[in-house]
Amino acid sequence: MEASLCNISDNITSNRSLIETVVQWTTFSIGFPLICLSIYAMYFLIRADHIAPVYVINLLIADLIQISMRPFILSGTWQFIVMLIEFFGISASIGFMVCVALERYLVIAFPLWYRFRRNIKYSLIMSSIIWLFPFIQISMFYLTPTIEISLILFAVNLLIPFPLLVFFLVGTLKALSVSISVPAVEQRRIIGSLALVLGNYTVLFLPLIIQYLISGVTCQHNVEIGTIFERFSPLVDPLLYVFMRKGAKDTLAFPCFDKLMGDEEQRQVTNTMTMTDSGVEGSR
The mean per-residue pLDDT over the stretch 73-101 comes to: 87
Report the CATH number of the 11-278 domain.
Answer: 1.20.1070.10
Question: Given pLDDT bands bounded at 50, 70 and 90, which one contains residue 253?
Answer: very low
Answer whether 263's CB lies under 8 Å from 248's CB: no
The amino acid occupying position 219 is C
Residue 258 pLDDT greater than 80, yes or no: no
Residue 77 or residue 200, greater confidence: 200
**Minimum mean pLDDT among 9-13, 70-74, 212-216, 253-257: which range?**
253-257
**Minimum mean pLDDT among 4-18, 156-170, 208-222: which range?**
4-18
How far from chain centre, in Å, is Cα 284?
A: 52
The mean per-residue pLDDT over the stretch 251-274 comes to: 44
Domain boundaries defined on the chain: 11-278
Residue 108 pLDDT greater than 70, yes or no: yes
pLDDT at site 54: 85
The mean per-residue pLDDT over the stretch 124-140 comes to: 88
Residue 37 or residue 184, greater confidence: 37
**In whole angstroms, what is the distance from residue 123 CA to residue 50 CA?**
11
pLDDT at site 267: 52
Q: Where are the beta strands (DSSP E) in 27-98?
A: none
Residue 234 pLDDT greater than 60, yes or no: yes
Question: Given pLDDT bands bounded at 50, 70 and 90, which one contains residue 6?
Answer: very low
Each as own residue / partner, the long-range contacts of residues 169-175 (CB below 8 Å, 24 or more positions apart, any chain) are 169/101, 169/194, 169/195, 169/198, 171/105, 171/109, 172/104, 172/105, 172/108, 172/109, 175/105, 175/108, 175/109
**In whole angstroms, what is the distance from residue 34 CA to residue 17 CA?**
25
Buried b (16+ CB within 10 A) or exposed e, 156-193: ebbbebbebbeebbebbeebbeeeeeeeeebeebbbeb
pLDDT at site 70: 87
Residue 49 or residue 172, greater confidence: 172
Residue 284 pLDDT greater than 50, yes or no: no
pLDDT at site 16: 63
